[in-house]
Amino acid sequence: MPNDANSGLSARFKPHAATGQILPVVFFTFLCYLTIGIPLAVLPGYVHGDLGYSTILAGAAISMQYLATLASRPLAGRCADTLGPKKTVTLGLSGCALSGALLLAAALLQHWPVFSLILLVLSRLALGCGESLCGTGAILWGIGRTGPSNNARVISWNGIATYGALAAGAPLGVALAHTFGFAALGLAVLALAALGYTLARRVAPVPVVHGERMAYRSVFTRVLPHGLGLALGSAGFGSIATFITLFYAARHWPNAALSLTVFGTLFIGARLLFSNAIRNYGGFRVAVVSFSIECAGLLMLWLAPDAQIALAGAALTGIGFALVFPALGVEAVALVPPASRGSALSAYSVFLDLSLGITGPLAGFIAGQFGYSSVFLFAALASAAAAGLSLVLYLRNGRNEQGGQAAAG
C-alpha cells in the first residue's frame, strides 16, 4: 500500500476508534503470552526440584525461549514485511501450539530427567519462535489497521496484552499444576494456541506495505543505541521472571506468583495512566524517568526484609518498566521507512531477547555465588546504566525528538 494511503487510513481514526481496531489483533499477543506465562512460575521449580538440576541450568532452560526469540527476530521481521502480519501471527501461534505439545511430552517423561529436560528445551525453543512471529506480526497488523500515526498506541496496547497475559498466566499455571499436575500446563498451552490460530484466520488481513526496504544490517545499526537501553533495562524483568520464585522460597515467603501478578498489573496500570506521556514529553525523557523508577524498585527487592517490601519492589519495578519498550521503540521505528517497520521492530526487539537470554544464566551464577537477592542488585545497576544511556541519547537528539514523535505516533 502506498504511504499516502497509509496516512489517509490513520487520519480516519480518532483515539477510541483506533483502539477498537487495535484490540482484536493484540488479543493474539495476549493468547501467545498467556502460553508463556502459564509455565513461567512453575518451570524453575520443576527443573530444579523435580528433575534435580542446578539453579544455573534451571535459569538456562528458561532462557532457551529468549534465545530462540532472539535468533528468529530477523525472520519475523521479514515475514511481517513480505508475507504480511496476519500470516506471521498464524505461524507464531502454530509455534506456540508445538511448544504445548512438547511440554506435555516432557511432563509425561518426568521419570527420565534427561529426556524430560531435552523436550522441555525444545518446547522453549518452539515457544520462543512463536513469540517472535506473533509479537512482531500483531504490532504490524495493528499499525496496518490504524496507520503509522498510531505507532505508539499499538506498541503500548501490545505491551499491555503481553504483561497482562503474564500476570494472569503465572497464578493460572501454579493453580493448574497444583490441581491437575504439570502435564496440565502443556494441555493448556496447546489449547490456547489452537484457539488463537482459529480466531486469527477469521480477522481480515492488511495489505503488505510496498516501497524502500532497508537491509537488515542497516536497520540494526540505526536502532542499536535504543536497543542497548532496552537490553539494560530488561534485566529487571528477566531477573524477576526467572528467579523471584526461588528468591521467595529461599526466604520461606509465601505467594511468589503474586509478585509476578503485581508486576504485570502495575505495568498495565502505568501504561493506561500515562498513555500520552511519550507523545507529550518525548520518548527519551520518558525512558530516563522509567529506568530510574525501575532501578528504585529493584533496589527495594535487593534490600527487602520481608515479603511485603519485596512485593512493593516488584510493583515499583513494573511501573518503571511499563513505558520502556514504547518510549525507545517509537524513536527507533521512526528512523526507518514504512516498508521496513517490521525489520525495525524485530531488530529493536532483539535486544530484549538478548537481555532475557543472558540474564537467566548470569543471574543464576550470581545467585549461586552471592545469594538470590544479589540478582536484583545486578539488575538495578543495569537499569541505572540504561537511564544514563537514555539521557545521553536525549541530549544528543533532543532537538529532533518532538519531530520524530509527530511522525511516528
Contacts with 247 (C-beta within 8 Å, 6 or more apart), sequence order? 256, 301, 310, 372, 373, 375, 376
What's residue 134's pLDDT? 94
What's residue 217's pLDDT? 84
Report how far residue 110's alpha carbon sits from residue 408's, in angstroms, rounded to the nearest whole number.
Answer: 49
What's residue 1's pLDDT? 34
| Placement of cell 488463537 in the chain | 196
Written as one string, the DSSP assignment of 358-376 is HHHHHHHHHHHHH-THHHH
What's residue 15's pLDDT? 59
Report how far residue 126's alpha carbon sits from residue 115's, in angstroms, rounded to the nearest whole number.
Answer: 17
The HSE-up count of residue 231 (CA atoms within 13 Å, CB side) is 18
This prediction's pTM? 0.75
Look up residue 14 and give its amino acid.
Answer: K
Query: In which residue ranges of the chain is pLDDT below 70?
Result: 1-16, 210-212, 398-409
Contacts with 180 (C-beta within 8 Å, 6 or more apart), sequence order? none
What's residue 13's pLDDT? 54
Q: Which domains does the chain have, with CATH numbers?
A: 11-408 (1.20.1250.20)
Note whether 120 and 61 are within 8 A (CB). Answer: yes
What's residue 249's pLDDT? 85
Question: Helix or strand or coil: residue 269?
Answer: helix
What's residue 63's pLDDT? 76
User: Which residue, among 144, 408, 148, 145, has the nearest Cα to 279 in the 3D structure?
Assistant: 408
Report how far residue 299's alpha carbon sits from residue 379's, in angstroms, rounded to the nearest whole number.
Answer: 9
Query: How far apart, in Å, are the Cα atoms of 239 and each of 71, 85, 236, 326, 382?
Result: 21, 31, 5, 21, 11
Written as one string, the DSSP assignment of 156-222 is HHHHHHHHHHHHHHHHHHHHHHHHH-THHHHHHHHHHHHHHHHHHTTSPP-PPPPS----HHHHHHH
The HSE-up count of residue 392 (CA atoms within 13 Å, CB side) is 10
296 CB neighbour count, 10 Å cutoff: 17
